[in-house]
Amino acid sequence: MIEQQAPAPPSSAQPRDRLRDSDSDSYSGSGSGGGGGGGDDSGSSLRLPVRQGTGRFLVLAGVFVCAACGLVYELELVALAAYLMGDSVTQASVVLSVMVFAMGIGSLAAKRLRRHAAAGFGAIEAALALVGGCSAMALYAVFAWTGDWGGPWAYGPPVLLVVFSLAVGLLIGAEVPLLMELIQRIRRQDAGGAVADLFAADYVGALVGGLAFPFLLLPFLGQLTGTLITGAVNTVVGGALVLGLFRQDLTRRARRLLIVANLCVLTVLASATVLVDDFERAARHAMYGSDVRVALRTDVQEVVLTGDRDGRSLDLFLDGRLRVSSRDELRYHEALVHPAMTGPHERVLVLGGGDGLTAREVLRHPGVRRVDVVELDAGVLRLARHDPALSALNGHALDDPRVRVTTEDAFDWLRGAPPAAYDVVVSDLPHPEITASTKLYSREFYGLTRRVLAPGGRLVVHAGQVTSLPETYWTVESTLRSAGFRTVPYGTGGRPAGLVTGPARTPADTTRALRDRGFVLAARTDPELRLDPSGPRPRTLTDNSLAAGARAAERTRVPGLPASTLIHPRYAR
């Protein structure tokens, strides 16, 4: 049985009456036009400069903005870590799991600050703006200046990634209990309703931040500037909310400290924003040397072209990975193209190869009538056509009337390609260890490729390093066989490429000095690994070296590897 409550005295109101009275947006006990008297009988004597309803709306608006900023920090760490260290699945898992764990710890730790909720929230927002806003620049700086030191320094970027994930997560987690306390001080309501309001504003803000990052901040401001401006917005909103709405809850000393702290944070973020271009140039100089010819960010990736001055080689980096080096690109492209051109080769399809170097080797063969190049990045194609050094290296192959260039994802393009349309398909695509490329090394992808091959047609695939990454290499070979191909694996020596040269992606990458590239020649029937006797004579390749490369590759065979599929990729490290 529930005992009947005694009637409330005239000077107080029942909770139900409080909720009803709140609709008038007036501050109870104040007869001076909402100036904020102290008539909150639920234990709060907070005086506000605005009406209760307006104050509550401002707090929820602050929750909205802070949530958007917090998600931008998370996405920025994921995106930058994937670019710097590769394997976006692993980096996203590390950042998000560590951050969610830290948010829980932050929420528990914030319980001790509830008595000083306004001051605590102001301090946390200033710290979050500083840490989150500067995280991208700090992570990039460690990667650029210590990436080639080796030893313990090779672990600097991943360790710093975890540290920033922890710090940002702790600060974000501490926001919610303090905001709950502040919103309850404005007007007491049942806990369920307060939580619902708070999380609704939080989740909607997260949605806006999540959409703003890829569609607004990255395209128009870039990672570094976008994150710094996000930190500045975070500082202004957090500081304005506390110092404007809850200033009566702060001592004079606390107000001064918060003002100074926010001004210092804004000064740091503004200074970094002004200097961000100089910082990027210095970091690029540290990673690539002083002879950077071109550095641009396309819709797909970062493209850096260096060298071709004072006897230095011309090097093309895509997202920090060395893709082409003029010192030994001939060895790679001759080994990739010429074995596949033995037989009919009037119609050739090149998947990838936006640098034009694969097309150059294809066009050396007499009898080639048409070459279709399918490249995702239009920026790389423009560079291959218009940069004097790179276009000279590829022999202006992309301007040959027999070459037709399509800017599209190779997988999507193959789905609409006519069957039996090509005698030769050359797959010159990014490494399978890169998460975004795993679908281009899947059974489904090779099934589509098999469909566009004419009877007797041949496919050649660049499959990564034979010796340093044998499981990846032989997984590609196993996947080709699962798609109905007969295969001949082979390798060739050369300068390290891809994930080994250039900015390191793992600690092992900084210490390896391996010189191996692996290819797989495939056809519906057993392909013959040899050079076309009627074709051009390669400068770095012979039938004997091909046979030696096949024997060397066979010695690294890893049996029993399953095929990689879209649903179950097998390449991510």
Catalytic residue numbers, as ranges: 428
What DSSP assignment string belongs to 297-363?
A: E-SS-EEEEE--STTPPPEEEETTEEEEETTTHHHHHHHHHGGGGSS--SEEEEEE-TTSHHHHHHH
Distance CA 210, CA 216 (A): 10
Distance CA 385, CA 110 (A): 58
Distance CA 406, CA 354 (A): 10
Which one-letter amino acid corresponds to residue 133?
A: G
**406, 413 Cβ separation under 8 angstroms:** yes
The full 3-state SS of 365-410, as one line of letters, equals CCCCCEEEEEECCHHHHHHHHHCHHHHHHCCCHHHCCCEEEEECCH
Can you state the angle between helices 156-186 and 117-146, rounded to 10 degrees? 160
End-to-end CA distance of the chain: give it in Å, rounded. Answer: 64
Q: Which of 210, 385, 389, 237 is nearest to 311 (CA)?
A: 389
Q: Which of 301, 425, 323 is nearest to 374 (CA)?
A: 425
CA 155, distance to chain mean position in Å, is 19
Which residues sit opposite 305 in a β-bridge?
294, 316
Which residues sit opposite 14 in a β-bridge?
none
Contacts of 159 (CB under 8 A, 6+ apart): none
Q: Classify the phi-psi angles of 135: left when phi > 0, otherwise alpha if psi is within -120 to 50, otherwise beta.
A: alpha
18 class by beta-carbon count within 10 Å (0-12 exposed, 13-18 middle, 19+ buried): middle
Distance CA 462, CA 476 (A): 9
CA dihedral for 544, 546, 549, 554, sign (positive or negative): negative
DSSP assignment, residue 241?
I
